[in-house]
Amino acid sequence: MNLEREKRIEQRAYALWEAEGYPHGKHEDHWWRAASEIDAEEVGREIGKRSPRRGVTTAKRGTAPQRKKATA
């Protein structure tokens, strides 16, 4: 694990610990939760970098485009 990432996790875990009122014995929970959040942020940034249509909203999954009804 690189030192920069580890420091970010440490800071996030500390913030989680503070936000929960300084509970005793939950340091591992806070560490793993912080690591998961940091991972999710990093993945989100990577996806954003690769997306050619950044900022374009797409339709919800499972919905098909509406077709015009044929008129006689």
pLDDT tens figures, 23-71: 999 999 999 999 999 999 888 777 776 655 555 555 555 555 556 666 6
Confidence band for 72, pLDDT divided at 50, 70 and 90: low
Q: How far apart are CA 53 and CA 50, in angstroms?
A: 9
Contact predicate 59/65, CB 8 Å: yes
Residue 70 confidence (pLDDT): 65
Are the beta carbons of 11 and 35 closer than 8 angstroms?
A: no
Global confidence as pTM: 0.59
CA distances from 45 to 17, 51, 72 (A): 26, 10, 51
Q: CA-to-CA distance for 10 and 45, rounded, in angstroms?
A: 20
